[in-house]
Amino acid sequence: MTADSPSDRPVESDAPAEPPTIANRWYSVALIAAIGFAVTASALTALTNAYLQTPDETAHLDYAVQVWHGALPVFENGPAIAPPFGAIPPVQWVAQHPPLFYALLAPVVGPLVDAGRYPDAVLAGRLMNSLLSGVAVLAVWWAARRLHPTRPAVAPVAAIAAAMTGMLLLVGGAIYSDQLVIVFAALAVGVAASVLRNGVTTRLMVAAVLVATGGMLSRLAFALFLVALVAAVILAPAVAGSRWRGWARKLLALALMAAVTAVSSGWFYLRNQRLTGHIAGGHSDWSAEHLGRVSRSLSDVATDMAFWTKLLGVYRFNAPIDSPLQWALLVPAVVGVGVVVVLFVRRLRQRRWGADLLIVPMCAALVLGLLASQVQYTAFGGGVNTRYVLPLTVITATLVALGLTNWRRAAVALVAVWTAVAFWQFASSTSLDRFVLDAGNLMVGHALWALAAVCALGFVAAFALGHRRRAAPTATPAEPQPPAATAAAAPTEQLGASDAAASEPRPASAAAE
């Protein structure tokens, strides 16, 4: 093994580049505002969309109720519940999903359904998912800090970029299992980045096992992120001691991930194999016969602009599918990709090896892998649905944050404009005329709308104050240090940092499933 091999790379810290400051406290306020927006906007969505308006939502509710009764659903048996309203699927077409989300939802909706209080059960389930929207934003923020530890402005902006993702708010205001997958996907990316920077510490080993377990109990789509975790453990630098001791820790981490994941979720995928003939548990033959799904060639799907328009419209919310604002909100992500590519190539040319040269390909592989899986799924007769790319929220939001904060002097203005446009996209396609409760409770909808607006404004204000605090000169000049000490204390450059600020320490109707 050469000195340039991954395992011999020096350990990099993902700790903050400097101790807590007033600026960092303002960034924390910005994070709280972003979480508040996600929760209130999801709750408002929960109250303004008709109950069980899609058969998918009814199927998810039914799954939770069956878990409450100690059973797992079977595709052919159909739903066990019979709500007096809403769309009811002819079969149980979410039965192939692992049960973690439904186990969390079961004690919330099960007793209400048993009492015949279906409207209350739907609302309770939706509001629980609204809270999960906030958890998803927190997970994205945490992962963004690990991806760019020397650029503290990235994490709070990634949080608001996730919170204002229209499709995240839509599923957060309904009974869908996507929120939990977003959480575990973000945690997996954050843990993988930390492992590549710091090595396989005991804490990160435990975190990797827990995230792998929870993710595979949420959706099979998480398997792609599990591969990223495994690759990160294999390529991680040695923590301490001899090279053999480092490999022993890696092997232990891999063995624990494999064993705990197999025991906790392997039984469910074997059940899918027994019931349907494959671990995914889908029924493409039934979909082709009853839903009019047709198989297409991979090239036909990959070159179909309608496919990409529907799949990638994560900022569309309830706007028309041809809304231009959804693509305007993704422009900073394109800028973020450009920044990363330029600096990645520069570091390759300078032969400056580090964790970033592994983290960037890892994120690119996750994006390409998930998109390729959707092309294949659609080609084999599956439906196109924007929410199927929501596990990539952590990467999309971080790229948006990089694009908005790469130029320090313009960052506040860019973030303010982007947040205003995103809020307009949400507000203009949210109508309280569709409020599903009685007229007396309409004031709840107005209160939630106002609170969401306050959270959006609060985020911009807190981010601006934090950013300007970091930009302001210190009152007391630092004591001069010898050149050698100054060089040793300089932070490692992170991909995505602008050259102009390199001297500043900165952390880098839904289809049937």
Contact (CB, 8 A) for 147 and 190: yes
Residue 12 belongs to a domain: no
375-380: list long-range contacts, CB under 8 Å, 24+ apart.
375/298, 375/301, 375/302, 375/307, 376/298, 378/296, 378/301, 378/307, 379/295, 379/296, 379/297, 379/298, 379/300, 379/301, 380/284, 380/295
The total domain count for the chain is 1
Asked if residue 296 belongs to a domain, the reply is: yes
* Ramachandran quadrant class, 381 (left: phi over 0; alpha: psi -120 to 50; beta: rest): left
Which of these, 107, 103, 102, 80, lies nearest to 91 by C-alpha position?
Answer: 80
Among the listed residues 449, 454, 397, 451, the one whose alpha carbon sits nearest the alpha carbon of residue 426? 449
Q: Does residue 117 sit within a domain? A: yes
φ/ψ of 330, rounded to 5, equals: -90, -5
- Nearest in space to 386 (alpha carbons), one of 220, 169, 191, 228: 169
Q: Which token pair is 12? A: 């990099």
Does residue 507 register a pLDDT over 70? no
Average pLDDT over residues 347-351: 83
Q: Is the Cβ–Cβ distance between 236 and 250 less than 8 Å?
A: yes
Cα–Cα dist 504/474, whole Å: 13
136 with 182: CB under 8 angstroms?
A: yes
pLDDT in tens, 252-276: 999 999 999 999 999 999 999 999 9
Q: Is 156 helix (H, G, I), strand (E, B) or coil?
A: helix
Over the stretch 5-32, which tens digit does the pLDDT of each residue have?
Answer: 444 454 555 555 444 466 688 999 999 9
How far is residue 343's CA from residue 366's CA, in Å, rounded to a whole number?
20
Q: Which amino acid does the sequence have at 214?
A: G
Q: Buried b / exposed e across 455-472, counting CB within 10 Å, b at 16+?
A: bbbbbbebbbbbbeebee
Segment (H or E) for 163? helix 154-163
What percent of the chain clears pLDDT 70, i.e. is strictly above it? 84
Q: What is the mean pLDDT of the chain?
A: 86
Question: Sign of dihedral through CA atoms 299, 302, 305, 310?
Answer: positive
Return the pLDDT at 387: 94
Entry pTM: 0.87
- Would 307 be classed as within a structural domain? yes
pLDDT digits (tens, 9 = 90+) for 74-117: 999 999 999 999 999 999 999 999 999 999 999 999 999 999 99
pLDDT given at position 440: 54
Which range of residues forms the domain containing residue 361?
Answer: 28-471
The structure tokens listed for 241 are 């001691």
